A and B are shown apart, each in its own frame.
Chain A
Amino acid sequence: MKNQLFTAIKLSLACFILLVVIYPLAVLGIAQFTPNKGDVDFVKVRDKIVGVRQIGQTYTQAKYFWGRPSAVNYDAGVSGGSNKGPSNPDYIQTVQARRDTFLVHNPSVKANEIPAELLTASGSGLDPHISLQSALVQVARVAKARNHSTEIIQKVVMNSLEKSPAGTPFVNVLELNLALDRL
């Protein structure tokens, strides 16, 4: 047993050097060849950082498209979902309240036009995307707040569309809102 423990310690040390020193350094080295050199993708407007492309943000103003509800209020220092079960009465009430708030801010929209996705919290609490439907349902509000025609706003949405290799098309909310600000 004593011999085995010594072997175990020596073998662990060798593994440690290979797996904990050499391997991460190699990955760190490869990272220097990526566009962001291994860092997150900062988005800048006139040399000022306004966000990280992969991370969602809170939007409350009518002139911006809104993202999905977040269980962590888009605080990217943490992450997580609501973890509410489908039968939880509190959860159904929360979704109902979100629906009503949305209808107040978007008077031209009918309830059956709101995608449930826009009323339910994402897994990470930092989801940077919304589906095309969730963007289109907000076009009237954004157009009114910006004094533009809905056609122009809709065109900006369609231009920001990300093509998913399979499945539902979606937009990055930060990039969409920045495109609006450039109008």
Chain B
Amino acid sequence: METDLLGIIATFVLTILLAWPLGKYISAIYTGAPHWSDKIFGGIERLFYKIGGINPKLEMTWQESLKALLSINLIWFLFAMFILMNQGWLPWNPDHNPSMSPDLAFNTAVSFLVNCNLQHYSGETGMSYLGQITCLMFLQFVTAATGMAACAVVFKAMREQTSQKLGNFYTYFIQSNTRILLPLALIVASLLLFEGVPMNIEGKASIHTLEGNTVQVARGPAAAMVAIKQLGTNGGGFFGANSSHPLENPTYWSNAIESISIILIPIAMVFALGFYLNRKKLALVIFGVMTVGFLALIAPALYFEWQGNPAIDHLGVAQTLGNMEGKETRFGTTFSTYWAIITTVTSNGSVNAMHDSLMPLTGMSALLGMMINALYGGVGVGFLNFYVFIIISVFIAGLMVGRTPELFGKKIEAREMKIATLIALLHPFLILLGTAIASYVAHQKPDIGWLNNPGFHGFSEMLYEYTSSAANNGSGFEGLGDNTPFWNISTGIVLILSRYIPIIGPVAIAGILAKKKHIPSGAGTLQLDTLTFGILMFAVILILVALAFFPALTLGPLAEHFSLK
């Protein structure tokens, strides 16, 4: 296990080393100053502006940016619904998979539209190749770019002295696609191809095995989709078993490449902020808070997976490799646990092991990653969530020292605080309300057949599903029988609210602050790029999350842990 541990440490360090220059690159792109990448991508972008009738020089207010964001999302939703409900008869469907029912199509369309990728279907039997590529993979690119563009608007607002003009949303969106996501996806897809991830257009192969059984082997254009599903913190896999599937993630190296892709852009966005505002120390403080939180989640998770299942120990067999239920031999417990935590802190949601079979407190670490939803977080939106915590921390710090709270020379007043608090409370509200309703229904109708596991673990399955939806994560305790109208519609509503409100809120706060008069910093100004403020932010996150979720965690994973003998 010691060498395994070195493997994940090396992967994490390499990710940070790659994220630093990428952050610098992202900052340069959003700044909009002349850059070497103009020569490569400028031509194609001018074509985009021409087709879209967009003037890239025209700066927009925060309201105009949000209108543009919501309009284009509406178009994508309608398009996705059409493809998903008609893929059965549309071309490029070699396995003759059926069209989706309206409630499943609604859930799938919404979940890919909001960058969540909760999958209530299995790719092998539930999607045509046309649907996978033109609908799901398309959304994996553009929704990631949407989050990044919204983040760029907030970056710009944080830098402005007194202004209403916050850059051109369309430009941010297009450049996020052409200059960041697409080149990275091409690189990652190529690396995965050489590790054995398939990219072909034929349907399932029928083969006779060594012992003479006839089995079908699903394949298809997977490599293109797997690359962007990881880079864009989407997580929606080509095959049902996601990245535990040996064709989606065939080797130790493919696993390392995909692990790096999961947190590369989320970390790079934090560094990008530092370069953009020319406050690298602040970026490092934020990165430090996120990393301490991440380590606090992964350490117990590794411990409990290595220990294995005490109930299996009682059977007298050798559990030297740890808890291997739901895990793949080529990854082992260590890399599987690393993945379980990075995928939940980043709102990615792809899995290389089945989370339903994790030890109770490992499952709790995964849940906490999504409950906080800002330790690195999703591409773009992760920082937006963290921004809300910054606002709240600045406000509390201001009260503690008895001064008007201010952020970069802008007073934070009642209106901004109301928005920030609303966003901070919306997340637990949606999760706990959904879980409460589902628990009530499951209790009233014990034979409803949702739950794959009895007792406390069954409760955890429902809690996980709503937490994953509200965090726009997409992983699941997949034992939950979730392809029913109840789950499709209820999680669909949670998905919509928990995507757009936490984008609208921070953009609005940033926009309102940008318009305010700038007060030059003096001796009494609260310094944000200090260890003290870092500790304060950490404490604020801890207290908010603990207060909101501790009771629910007690009923699920904690109770299961203490009852497991």
Interface residues of A (CB under 8 A from B): 1, 4-16, 18-20, 23-24, 26-28, 30-31, 34, 36-42, 48-52, 54-61, 64, 68, 74-89, 91-92, 95-96, 99, 111-117, 119-131, 133, 164-168, 170, 174, 177-178
Contacts and interface: CB of A to CB of B under 8 A. Distances in A.
Given A79-B122, A92-B312, A15 B177 contact: yes
B210 A174 contact: yes
6 contacts: A37-B200, A38-B200, A57-B213, A87-B311, A111-B317, A178-B210
B239 A79 contact: yes
B328 A123 contact: yes
B320 interface: yes
Interface in B306-356: 308-309, 311-312, 315-321, 323-330, 332, 334-336, 351-354, 356
A57 B211 CA distance: 9
Given A4-B71, A14-B52, A85-B560, A126 B246 contact: yes
B217 A133 contact: no
Contacts of B319: 115-116
Contact of A130 (B71, B247, B329): B329
A78 B125 CA distance: 7
Contact of B219 (A39, A57, A60): A39
A45 B133 CA distance: 35
Given A11-B72, A57-B209, A165 B253 contact: yes
Interface residues of B, number: 121
List 4 tightest A-B contacts by C-beta distance, closest first: A123-B244, A166-B7, A77-B216, A83-B479
Contacts of A7: 52-54, 68, 71-72, 170
Contacts of A68: 329
Contacts of B250: 54
Contacts of B208: 48-50
Contact of A40 (B178, B185, B217, B316): B217
Nearest to B564: A87
B218 A78 contact: yes
Given A18-B44, A126-B245, A130-B329, 4 more contacts: A12-B75, A30-B199, A164-B332, A166-B10
A41 B207 contact: no
Interface of B: 1, 3-4, 6-7, 10, 44, 47-48, 51-54, 67-68, 71-72, 74-76, 79, 122, 124-125, 133-134, 137-138, 141-142, 170, 173-174, 177-178, 182, 185-186, 189-190, 193-194, 196, 198-202, 204-205, 207-211, 213, 215-219, 221, 223-224, 227, 239-241, 244-247, 250, 252-253, 308-309, 311-312, 315-321, 323-330, 332, 334-336, 351-354, 356-360, 452-457, 460-461, 477-479, 560, 563-564
Contact of A74 (B47, B134, B215, B324): B215
A8 B53 CA distance: 10
A23 B182 contact: yes
Nearest to B321: A117
Contact of A116 (B198, B241, B324, B456): B324
A167 B332 contact: yes
Given A76-B215, A86-B357, A178-B210, A14 B51 contact: yes
Contacts of B318: 112-116, 133
Contacts of A74: 209, 215
Contact of A167 (B74, B334, B352, B353): B334
A27 B137 CA distance: 13
B356 A83 contact: yes
A119 B354 contact: no
Contacts of B138: 15-16, 19-20
Contacts of A19: 137-138, 141-142, 177, 182
A130 B317 CA distance: 16
A23 B185 contact: yes
B329 A81 contact: no
Contact of B4 (A49, A92, A96, A167): A167
Contacts of B67: 1, 4
A124 B244 contact: yes
B246 A127 contact: yes
Task: Please indicate which of the listed interface residues A27, A56, A78 has the most CB atoms of chain B within 10 Å of its own CB.
Answer: A27
Given A24-B221, A51-B207, A83-B452, A124 B317 contact: no
Given A112-B318, A123-B352, A170 B219 contact: no
Contacts of A84: 325-326, 356-357, 452-453, 479
